[in-house]
């Protein structure tokens, strides 16, 4: 059994905040993979389901971000899990918007949700770092993360969340490469060299290219192939 944790703050006021992208990620996994309804448990919202062959619990702590570790610690102890069984989805200022990275263990880098997790379960859990970008100055960070995503962010955000849900079964079985590839397929799908647009471009190139010049007629005199005797005879005709 594994525990996927999304970090965020509870309540409608914070629902679309950049800081709540972890909640959004596990919500999308639950929706796309037919998990059971959410229910209140462990100072948070919990639901259960399967990702491929793996049984997975999804948890959204409702202790507010800075106390997230309390909720996660309770769930971990109840199900007799270890930090190695836990994957945490969280916002990441140091990644460009739409970027996704997976990390095992390490520090909290000043993230208050991760800081709380370190205090309650230690640092040896996996993290899915979801890029939201940086406002540019340290003093603007709190306001930035507690502000809703802009309208201009909606397309890449939806693609990112869809990719996370697509790749969730791979993540559950420990295949981070396939998980990240699934995300990349949504966020930056490969461009086809064919299709209608490619054909239109090719036709346009054909039309705009200069036509091959018509071959010129050969106006030079043909070579004289008469024998010397014929030439002499022709002179006296």
Active site residues: 19
Closest to 79 measured CA to CA, from 1, 145, 22: 1
Whether the CB-CB separation of 29 and 172 falls below 8 Å is answered with: no
Whether the CB-CB separation of 141 and 17 falls below 8 Å is answered with: no
Torsion sign across C-alpha atoms 170, 117, 7, 31: positive
Tokens of 83: 């930090």
DSSP string, 167-214: HHHHHHTT-HHHHHHHHHHHHSPPPPS-HHHHHHHHHHHHHHSPPPPP
């Amino acid at each position: 059994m594994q525990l996927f944790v999304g970090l965020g703050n509870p309540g409608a006021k914070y629902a679309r905040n950049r800081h709540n992208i972890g909640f959004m990620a596990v919500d999308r996994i639950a929706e796309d993979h037919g998990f059971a309804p959410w229910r209140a448990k462990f100072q948070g919202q919990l639901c259960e389901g399967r990702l491929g062959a793996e049984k997975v619990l999804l948890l959204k702590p409702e202790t507010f971000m800075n106390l997230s570790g309390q909720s996660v610690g309770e769930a971990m102890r109840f199900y007799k899990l270890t930090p190695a069984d836990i994957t945490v989805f969280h916002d990441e200022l140091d990644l460009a918007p739409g970027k996704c990275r997976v990390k095992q263990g390490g520090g909290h880098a000043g993230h208050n949700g991760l800081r709380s997790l370190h205090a309650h379960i230690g640092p040896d859990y996996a993290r899915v770092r979801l890029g939201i970008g940086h406002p540019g100055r340290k003093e603007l960070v709190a306001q930035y993360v507690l502000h809703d995503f802009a309208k201009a962010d909606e397309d890449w955000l939806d693609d990112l969340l869809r990719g996370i849900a697509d790749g969730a079964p791979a993540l559950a079985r420990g295949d981070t490469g396939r998980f990240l590839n699934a995300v990349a397929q949504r966020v930056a799908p490969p461009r086809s060299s064919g299709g209608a647009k490619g054909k239109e471009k090719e036709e346009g190139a054909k039309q705009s290219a200069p036509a091959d010049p018509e071959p010129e007629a050969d106006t030079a005199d043909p070579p004289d192939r008469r024998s010397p005797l014929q030439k002499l005879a022709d002179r006296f005709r």
